[in-house]
Structure 1
Amino acid sequence: MDSAPPTASPRHQAALAFIFVTVMLDMLAFGIIIPVLPHLIVDLIGGSIAKAAVWTSAFGTVYMLMQFVFSPVQGTLSDRYGRRSVILISSFGLGVDFLVMALTPTLWLLFVGRAVSGICAASFSTSNAYIADIVPKERRAAAFGMMGAAFAVGFIIGPALGGFLGHIGLRLPFWVAAVLSLINFCYGFFVLPESLPPEQRTRHFNWRHANPFGALVLLRRYPQVFAFAAVVFLINLAQFSLNSTYVLYTDYRYGWGPQAVGFTLGLVGLCSGVVQAVLVRQLMPRLGERRLIMIGLSLCVLGYLLFGLASVGWVFLLGIPFLCLGGLSGPPAQALMTQQVDPHEQGRLQGALTSLASLAGIFGPAVFANLFALFISDHAPMHLPGISFVLAALLLVGAAILASYAIRHVQPVQAATASEHPSMPAHGELSPVADVIAHEHHPHDQPESSP
């Protein structure tokens, strides 16, 4: 339903500004703790990096499991009770949760805190539904572009700030994250209006719509996008080698502490931003969608191999630009998929891709972190600390083979169809290393949650 009020009114401008700030501050809050969370786990379990890797995988798995389960639940709740209450409760919950994690003396309470973070952070889909409520259809692409910009700003600043704060004290980033989330709640409480009028809300909470597996059914109806969906799944699965091992791997192999990790993640964000803001737009008209997909995947394979096989830190750093250039494959793949799906099901397509990313996040951390722990242990079949990144490279070789098949069988469409559906970033597609920071955050246009 697109009869939204004009975005020019001061009230709606303030609401859009709040949503922008919400995404940016939430990304900043989560980015701040990423460089220090694995080190805090090491402290709480007594100093073993191998054991910490296993626990880190469990933390990542429970986070993504909560995201997978509660993203559709929060979307359905916002359809029933309105967007404002869901967003504000989530912001407040994040603030309190970060406070608990800053104070906890035990590993199990930190684990519970991470699970609660996954539940509260599921409100990103509600923020997108809010935009769909108040922004006219012809302006939504630009509005969601601003959300992507907010995501990028938080991603670049967060880990660098977290590394700096973590160098002072491992728990200090949690205190700062809590303050940011609570400031965000207070700001929204006084500024954010409700976007969904009572007459446009659903009358009952529908558990069928809250089913996280429901969106995946869509892919069965469109065989021409099924291979592309498998490519998306493999890309996301490979990215969790970074989420689950980056901090501990660089500590184990190169002796990098929170500050060095934070600065390198900031470099990752900067490179990813250049790729997305400049290179994709410049290269798409010259190379075309199909070539750009294959080039991006090939460069990403090279980046993962450099990560996994680098014996010194400067060689590892050389892999960052190649890994970020892998983001060239995301937008054209997304564009080809949107061209194959009916206009009224674009939102469900995005939901299906989000569900695939969440599934990858449930299994990926356990696989990669446990492999890392095994290959640095005394029982390792061979000493290969970078085994997770080598496996990620092999997964992307498989993704490239599937993409080559999908490209050959993609259905031709009229040019107008493609222009009607601007490509929006699916989780993990645009920036292969963005999920090092927030493997659960993905600003998406999800019109199925809008009136």
Structure 2
Amino acid sequence: MTPSAGAPAANAIRFVLLAVLIDSMGFGIVMPVLPDIVMKLGHVDLPEATRIGGWLGVVYAAVQFLTGPFVGNLGDRFGRRPVLLGALAGFTADYLLLAFAPSLAWLFVGRALAGLFGASFGPAGAAIADISAPDERSRYFGMIGAAFGIGFIVGPAIGGLLGEFGPRAPFYAAGALSGANFLFGLVFFPETLSSGNRRPFSLARANPVGAWRSLGKLHGVIPLSIAAFFWQVAAMIYPVTWAYFAIAAFGWTPGIIGASLAMVGCLMALSQILLVGPVVKRLGERASVAVGIAGATAQFLCYTIIHDGWMVFVVMLLMPIQSLVFPAINGLMSRKVPPDAQGELQGFNGSIAAIAAIFAPAIFSPALAYFTSPGAPFQFVGIGFAMASVLALVSLAILLLAGRRPDQMPPSTAR
């Protein structure tokens, strides 16, 4: 079935995009008040709350890494509808749990649950793969990325305003959004995976190692997943170090930093809506990924050498090129996987993103801290972007060296 097949497919696409938008809004809404909640419940100062906040992020990413393939395999067995609706109901309960959390330990429980339910982004991507033709998938994956980006712009802004009514108010709002999303899906979201494309649930495949072994039997998937990992670590340079880099390099205030992040989000969202489809259609998925990584590498290198703050906004004009990478590489990988394993693939991709989110702070933050400290042999504020450019080039090399056998629909993976 393709999006042109009628109202059910159109409704499914609308719901998936709306679900991603609202979920990312809900996640973003609580970000501005997390430090206050941590300080209040933990009875700690801001530096200690920052450290605890880092561990909360690690817990979220670690759970998502472990459970992504599990949730994806559930979708391949029972369909996308029950998995996605169950995740939305879980998100609603999680936000309400956090709103009433009586201690710091409950915040960690809430972040772990958010990691589990956040793994539903895999089934969301699989639902798009179910109902779109291979040539159209990159465009729709780009729209998913745009929905996520828009939500991440709007969410923190709303959360900042609601935070004026108390640090728990944004959690109530996030819970209400997720609850409304669940009710909307309950009425309008049709099942996208046909019974003929389902397979028995396999516990051996429902974990990162098992998914690696299973998908490794399909030509070209693992090299692409390794390229995706290096790319995602490189791309994490922005959320991990941007605020610290901007202060160290240009002495920016929080207002300017926020404006720069908003500009990045807007550029990424618009380009994923307007640019990805036409470019991928013209160049193909593999070439689009290569162009995107090359453009991002050029941008990283520019950030290592610029010395005036106004130059940042000029370099940002390269950002739309980078927006090609995620949807095109996801579309390329989905071509190599049969219909009964699309959920497994998307869940595995979620695990890759999660481990990248754990790995990136471990290398970028210490490097930036060291090369901006008084004891460093020389000052190098752009060290993180230099490292990101190397990682991006590694990703590009793997992509270009990977086999180029023509893509064809592989056989079912059911065993």
TM bin (shorter chain): 0.7 to 0.9
The offset of 1:238, in angstroms, is 1.1
Distance in 2 between residues matched to 1:88 and 1:227, nearest whole Å: 33
Matched, 1:363 2:327: no
Q: How does 1:126-137 map to 2 (within 5 A)?
A: 126-130=123-127, 135=131
Distance in 1 between residues matched to 2:306 and 2:213, nearest whole Å: 41
Q: What are the superposed Cα offsets for residues 423-445 of structure 1, whole Å, 9 maximum, x if unpaired?
A: xxxxxxxxxxxxxxxxxxxxxxx
Distance in 2 between residues matched to 1:80 and 1:59, nearest whole Å: 31
Q: How does 1:108-119 map to 2 (within 5 A)?
A: 108-119=105-116
State which of 59, 62, 67 in structure 1 corresponds to 2:59. 62
Q: How does 1:407-418 map to 2 (within 5 A)?
A: 410-411=403-404, 413=406, 417=407
The offset of 1:197, in angstroms, is 8.6
Distance in 2 between residues matched to 1:285 and 1:82, nearest whole Å: 29
Matched, 1:159 2:153: yes
The question of whether the paired residues in 1 share the 8 Å contact of 2:60 and 2:115 is answered with yes
2:204 is aligned to 208
Q: How does 1:2-81 map to 2 (within 5 A)?
A: 8=6, 14=11, 16-34=13-31, 37=34, 45-48=44-47, 54-78=51-75
Distance in 2 between residues matched to 1:332 and 1:190, nearest whole Å: 31
The offset of 1:392, in angstroms, is 1.2
The offset of 1:234, in angstroms, is 1.0
2:240 is aligned to 244
Inter-CA distance 285–13: structure 2 relative to 1 (3 Å threshold): closer
Distance in 2 between residues matched to 1:127 and 1:158, nearest whole Å: 17
Matched, 1:397 2:393: yes
State which of 136, 152, 176 in structure 1 corresponds to 2:173. 176
Gaps of 5+ in 2: none
The question of whether the paired residues in 2 share the 8 Å contact of 1:92 and 1:181 is answered with yes
Inter-CA distance 41–76: structure 2 relative to 1 (3 Å threshold): same
Q: Secondary structure at the match of 2:205?
A: coil
The question of whether the paired residues in 1 share the 8 Å contact of 2:96 and 2:172 is answered with yes
The residue type equivalent to 1:244 in the other structure is V
Matched, 1:123 2:117: no
The question of whether the paired residues in 2 share the 8 Å contact of 1:53 and 1:373 is answered with no
Q: How does 1:279-290 map to 2 (within 5 A)?
A: 279-281=275-277, 283=279
Count of residue pairs brought into register by the alignment:
406
The residue type equivalent to 2:323 in the other structure is G
Distance in 2 between residues matched to 1:388 and 1:87, nearest whole Å: 36
1:433 is aligned to none
1:304 is aligned to 300
Gaps of 5+ in 1: 422-446
The question of whether the paired residues in 1 share the 8 Å contact of 2:38 and 2:52 is answered with yes
Distance in 2 between residues matched to 1:241 and 1:280, nearest whole Å: 22
Q: Secondary structure at the match of 1:213?
A: helix
The residue type equivalent to 1:75 in the other structure is G
The question of whether the paired residues in 1 share the 8 Å contact of 2:299 and 2:315 is answered with yes
Question: Which deviates more from structure 2 when the two are superposed, residues 52-61 or residues 283-292?
Answer: 283-292
The question of whether the paired residues in 1 share the 8 Å contact of 2:65 and 2:352 is answered with no
Percentage identity across aligned positions?
A: 29
Inter-CA distance 53–228: structure 2 relative to 1 (3 Å threshold): farther
Distance in 2 between residues matched to 1:335 and 1:75, nearest whole Å: 17
Inter-CA distance 402–20: structure 2 relative to 1 (3 Å threshold): closer
Q: Secondary structure at the match of 1:163?
A: helix
The question of whether the paired residues in 1 share the 8 Å contact of 2:31 and 2:159 is answered with no
TM-score, length-scaled by structure 2: 0.75
The offset of 1:380, in angstroms, is 5.2
Inter-CA distance 335–99: structure 2 relative to 1 (3 Å threshold): closer
Q: How does 1:280-429 map to 2 (within 5 A)?
A: 280-281=276-277, 283=279, 293-307=289-303, 312-329=308-325, 341=336, 347=342, 352-375=348-371, 383-406=379-402, 410-411=403-404, 413=406, 417=407
Inter-CA distance 229–19: structure 2 relative to 1 (3 Å threshold): closer
Distance in 2 between residues matched to 1:384 and 1:228, nearest whole Å: 32
Give the RMSD, CA atoms, in angstroms: 4.4
The offset of 1:391, in angstroms, is 1.7
The question of whether the paired residues in 2 share the 8 Å contact of 1:92 and 1:185 is answered with yes
